[in-house]
Chains A and B, each alone.
Chain A
């Protein structure tokens, strides 16, 4: 079965600092991997998606993620954090059936001045 593990339920960075949110996956099929963001009191919004075309995936709002098969990782990064990046971030993997996704438990990003 496919699964994802997000390391760190809370991450705090200073404004302007590097953002690194970690995601490791387990998949018995070639994985499709996703990062979603949830701002307070809103639904989830797709940040980026890996579908085997390129290992470095660029998303919205300056985020990117690198697929590393040898490490079974798909970490999300942004070079310089902005206050507006404060949100909860979810990593997800396609389960292989019926467009279902399995989500990680989420990482809440706090950005401080």
Chain B
């Protein structure tokens, strides 16, 4: 079974702090994704990566950056956390095959005070 793990299930940070969310997958998937999930808005894509050191902006990249130094690991960085970044963050991975299913981690619920 594919396993996608995220470093924290719950995280509380203060406004202005730098926040790192880590995601690791164990299936040698090329593509990895970061989403945020908010009530009534579904999942919105923040960034994705299709290879090591490669990244592309998603639909809502403002206020976020990412890092992919190893194939299995994809990090989401909030340079200066703000209260409007309080949300559920979901990581996913998949192969390069067109239309392939994405596999999700358990999510990190981030609260910024």
Across the interface, A32 reaches (CB within 8 A) one of B43, B96, B98, B107, namely B98
- A49 neighbours in B (Cβ, 8 Å): 101
Contact B102 A43 (CB under 8 A): no
- The winner among A42, A94, A103, A104 for most chain B CB atoms within 10 A is A103
Which parts of A75-113 form the interface with B (CB within 8 Å)? Answer: 90, 94, 96, 98-101, 103-106
Contact with B along A23-62 (1 / 0, CB 8 A): 0000000001010100001111110010100000000000
B74 at the A/B interface (Cβ < 8 Å)? Answer: no
Min distance, Cβ B1 to any Cβ of chain A, angstroms = 11
Contact B106 A43 (CB under 8 A): yes
A9 at the A/B interface (Cβ < 8 Å)? Answer: yes
Distance in angstroms between the alpha carbons of A44 and B90 in the assembled complex: 9
Distance in angstroms between the alpha carbons of A99 and B94 in the assembled complex: 7
Contact B42 A103 (CB under 8 A): yes
A interface SS class: loop
- A101 neighbours in B (Cβ, 8 Å): 102
Distance in angstroms between the alpha carbons of A24 and B48 in the assembled complex: 25
Nearest opposing residue in chain B for A43, CB measure: B104
Nearest opposing residue in chain A for B94, CB measure: A99
Contact A105 B50 (CB under 8 A): no
Min distance, Cβ A64 to any Cβ of chain B, angstroms = 17
- B105 neighbours in A (Cβ, 8 Å): 43
Min distance, Cβ A34 to any Cβ of chain B, angstroms = 7
Distance in angstroms between the alpha carbons of A12 and B42 in the assembled complex: 19
Which parts of B45-104 form the interface with A (CB within 8 Å)? Answer: 45, 48, 50, 56, 58, 90, 92, 94-104
B25 at the A/B interface (Cβ < 8 Å)? Answer: no
Distance in angstroms between the alpha carbons of A20 and B34 in the assembled complex: 29
9 A-B residue pairings within 8 Å (CB atoms):
A32-B98, A41-B109, A44-B92, A44-B102, A51-B99, A98-B48, A99-B99, A105-B41, A105-B42
Contact B42 A90 (CB under 8 A): yes
- A36 neighbours in B (Cβ, 8 Å): 104
Distance in angstroms between the alpha carbons of A94 and B45 in the assembled complex: 13
Nearest opposing residue in chain A for B9, CB measure: A41
